Amino acid sequence: MSSDSERKPTIITICSTKGGVGKTTLTANLGGFLASLNKRVLLVDADVQPALSSYYELAQQADCGLERLLIGGDLTNTISATSAGCDLIYSDDPEGKLQDWVLHTPDGRTRLKYLLNQLKANYDFILIDTQGAVGPLQDAAVIAADLLLSPIPTETMSAREFARGTLGMLGRLQPMTYYTTLTLAPLYGVLYRVDRTKDAANVALEVREELGGGGSGITIMDAVIPSAVAWREAATQQVPVHTLTKHPMAKLSLMAVIAELGILPVAQGGGNHA
Ligand SMILES: Nc1ncnc2c1ncn2[C@@H]1O[C@H](COP(=O)(O)OP(=O)(O)OP(=O)(O)O)[C@@H](O)[C@H]1O
Ligand SMILES: [Mg+2]
How far, in Å, from the CA of 118 to the mean position of ligand 1? 30
- Among 160-169, 189-198, 222-231, the range scoring the smallest mean pLDDT is 160-169
Determine whether the shortest distance from the Cβ of 237 to ligand 1 is under 6 A.
Answer: no
Determine whether the shortest distance from the Cβ of 132 to ligand 1 is under 6 A.
Answer: yes
- Among 96-100, 259-263, 270-274, the range scoring the smallest mean pLDDT is 270-274
Digit-coded pLDDT (tens) for 239-256: 999 999 888 999 999 999
Atom 30, ligand 1: residue with shortest CA distance: 232
All residues at 6 or more sequence positions from 56 whose CB lies less than 8 Å from its CB, including other chains: 28, 32, 82, 83, 84, 86, 88, 238, 239, 240
Given a cut of 80, whether residue 214 has pLDDT beyond it is: no
Digit-coded pLDDT (tens) for 16-34: 999 999 999 999 999 999 9
How far, in Å, from the CA of 94 to the mean position of ligand 2? 15
pTM: 0.94
Model confidence band, residue 270 (pLDDT cutoffs 50, 70, 90): very low
Mean pLDDT of the chain: 91
The strands making up 11-14's β-sheet, listed across from edge to edge, are 58-60, 80-82, 87-89, 41-46, 125-130, 11-14, 147-153, 187-194, 219-226
Determine whether the shortest distance from the Cβ of 152 to ligand 1 is under 6 A.
Answer: no
Given a cut of 60, whether residue 186 has pLDDT beyond it is: yes
- Among 1-5, 6-10, 73-77, 244-248, the range scoring the smallest mean pLDDT is 1-5
Domains of the chain, each with CATH number or no CATH: 3-261 (3.40.50.300)
Model confidence band, residue 268 (pLDDT cutoffs 50, 70, 90): low
Greater model confidence, 227 or 6: 227
Determine whether the shortest distance from the Cβ of 51 to ligand 1 is under 6 A.
Answer: yes
Digit-coded pLDDT (tens) for 33-62: 999 999 999 999 999 999 999 999 999 999
First to last CA, the chain: 20
The pLDDT value given to residue 265: 78
- Among 20-29, 86-95, 158-167, 249-258, the range scoring the smallest mean pLDDT is 158-167
* Under 8 Å between Cβ of 265 and 273: no
- How distant, in Å, are the alpha carbons of 194, 203, 259 from that of 137? 29, 30, 29
Query: How much is the average pLDDT of 172-187?
Result: 92
Given a cut of 60, whether residue 89 has pLDDT beyond it is: yes
**Alpha-helical segments (H) within the chain:** 3-6, 23-36, 66-71, 97-104, 108-119, 136-144, 159-162, 168-173, 198-211, 229-237, 248-261
